[in-house]
């Protein structure tokens, strides 16, 4: 990845952590790897939560070792009504934007950012770094997992139905999709790939990666990762990106430690 691409990613990192903001600023699946353990319906004794109750149940500072947990900046929060695209793929766009996959009586979200200690390279002055070292130092400094965690609660079979819209969309939208938030240029996702779910997988879980087009002229892309888990009448979604890994073309995933911490609070 060239230096101009790194600069674009760096600038975008300042903007925020939501998928549409980042990917726009940077301008056949269905494997058996995902875990789907539930009966497909809500548990008889599953509780439906209010927004106030969800806000107490979502992870908070101190719940996830090695992560800073803080509210998602309201300026970066997506509005479901503004997201437009292929109807069957919208649930993917919603969970990648920290929103409930379908309309929910109650929902909330937060952001978990991995704590990172400066590397030896970061201690050097810019004048002492070669061009290659500058690029590596930038990628290293930005190699931080940032996860938007969202909870939504439903009545009756609502959570099971909402989960199905996501699991179906992962298969139906494998070839990619376009989404817009009202801006001039849509965000183009070139492919969606089902992945193995990690951590606490509740009653049902599905995980996927989505590859987005950063530069149509060069064909440069970036990949983000999402996992959706149903715990009774509650849907927990995790959207993760790591800009440093994206710059250096390294693999990363939704962090299991975040999924486990949230899952423990929903037991």
Asked if the model's pLDDT at residue 28 lies above 50, the reply is no
Band of pLDDT at residue 181, cut at 50, 70 and 90: confident
CB distance 199 to 14 below 8 Å: no
Q: Output the pLDDT for position 124.
A: 54
- Write out the two tokens for 221: 């892309």
Asked if the model's pLDDT at residue 10 lies above 80, the reply is no
User: Stretch 109-138: mean pLDDT, rounded?
Assistant: 68
Dihedral Cα 205, 192, 253, 235, nearest 10 deg: -30
42 Cα distance to chain centroid: 24
Query: pTM to 2 decimals?
Result: 0.82
CA distances 249 to 30, 36, 107, 143, 183, Å, are 24, 29, 34, 11, 28
Query: Beta partners for 229?
Result: 205, 236
Question: How does pLDDT run across 200-212, given as a tens digit for each residue?
Answer: 999 999 999 999 8
Q: Write down the H helix ranges in 62-157.
A: 90-95, 131-141
Question: How does pLDDT run across 216-254, given as a tens digit for each residue?
Answer: 777 788 899 999 999 999 999 999 999 888 888 889 999
- Looking at the chain, the whole-number percentage of residues with pLDDT higher than 70 is 72
């Amino acid at each position: 990845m060239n230096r101009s691409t790194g600069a674009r990613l760096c600038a975008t990192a300042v903007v925020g952590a939501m998928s549409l903001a980042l990917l726009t600023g940077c301008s056949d699946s269905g494997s058996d790897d995902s875990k789907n353990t539930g009966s497909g319906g809500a548990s008889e004794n599953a509780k439906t939560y209010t927004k106030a109750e969800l806000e107490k149940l979502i992870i908070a500072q101190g719940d996830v070792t090695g992560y800073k947990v803080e509210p998602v900046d309201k300026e970066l929060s997506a509005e479901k009504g503004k997201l437009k695209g292929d109807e069957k793929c919208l649930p993917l766009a919603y969970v990648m934007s920290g929103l409930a996959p379908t309309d929910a009586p109650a929902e909330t979200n937060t952001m978990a950012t991995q704590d990172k200690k400066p590397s030896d390279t970061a201690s050097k002055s810019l004048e002492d770094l070669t061009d290659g070292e500058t690029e590596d130092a930038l990628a290293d400094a930005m190699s931080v997992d940032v996860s938007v965690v969202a909870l939504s609660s439903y009545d009756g079979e609502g959570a099971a139905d909402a989960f199905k819209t996501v699991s179906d969309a992962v298969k139906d939208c494998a070839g990619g999709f376009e989404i817009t938030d009202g801006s001039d240029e849509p965000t183009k996702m070139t492919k969606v790939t089902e992945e193995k779910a990690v951590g606490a997988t509740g009653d049902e879980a599905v995980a996927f990666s989505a590859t987005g087009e950063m530069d149509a002229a060069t064909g440069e892309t970036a990949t983000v990762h999402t996992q959706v888990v149903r715990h009774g009448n509650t849907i927990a979604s995790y959207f993760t990106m790591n800009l440093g890994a994206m710059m250096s073309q390294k693999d990363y995933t939704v962090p299991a430690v975040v999924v486990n911490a949230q899952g423990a609070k929903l037991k």
